[in-house]
Structure 1
């Protein structure tokens, strides 16, 4: 069975997350996981998780547990290692993450920013009901899922 699970980042799994790799094309759109993990240590509202697939570390994600711009709770990172891409893991992990985020107080919107040329991200978020209202932050576009 192809099981996707989210596991809170911990002493046993953080290093594997640092070793996950993107495709060469995707590297232009995302910081390394180690930077996100370090950021989470200085910004306690950030919640980092490993994404496991059939018991293996397949990806990493992180979201903010406090509202930010656009009165939304922001997704900071979702990445799937290049060896695990194309299996629907990212979509399932995003759904699991949104379930977690909906447990936060007063969540009305989930927001994610990504580079406009990142077609994979665009297709994923559109398929999950995120809408582009024209919000832009630096080089990134922001899409919103209203709950």
Structure 2
């Protein structure tokens, strides 16, 4: 796992630990599951076993990160992505989720800015990508507010509610 630890006041971004997988699964399967459907590009149940497998895959990969987002020792979200050293080096954000109770407080933007700063300082990364479901208007607005631009579109990348959806890749150079 590409290990990261970022502390900014009461916000701590660090590697997910096995004990947090159950809470992450609950976001995808609990009462608010529809609210989080775009976070992983999946519309069916996200099983604990599947998330645990993603966790194990990230543990053995030197380029993947699976980060918990903690506010005053409370898990409030996660970020999953990877570092790619092709060209000048890139960070790909594959998923970001903030607990609904903590959304619209600037936490998501703060997380991405901190990850970008840490990646630039520690690894020399200058290019950042994020993949989102094209019709995720809230997600598109989020990334655009961070000065990400549309890079490319992959037709039919996702199937949500039995409908083919496109993947929009956003990018930003710093």
TM-score, normalized by the shorter chain, greater than 0.5 = yes
Give the TM-score, by structure 1 length. Answer: 0.79
Number of residue pairs aligned between Structure 1 and Structure 2: 145
Which residue number in structure 2 is paired with residue 47 of structure 1? 65
Which residue number in structure 1 is paired with residue 153 of structure 2? 136
Give the TM-score, by structure 2 length. Answer: 0.69
1:3 to 2:21 alignment? no
**Residues 77-125 of structure 1, C-alpha deviations (whole Å, 9 max, x = no match):** 1111223222221111111221222235342210111011112211111
Higher strand share: 2
1:17 to 2:24 alignment? yes
Q: 1:13 to 1:92 in 2, by over 3 A?
A: same
Residue in structure 2 matching 1:61, options 43, 63, 79: 79
Bigger-Rg structure (1/2): 2
Equivalence map 1:81-96=2 (5 Å): 81-96=99-114
Structure 2, unaligned stretches of length 5 or more? 1-8, 158-165
Structure 1, unaligned stretches of length 5 or more? none
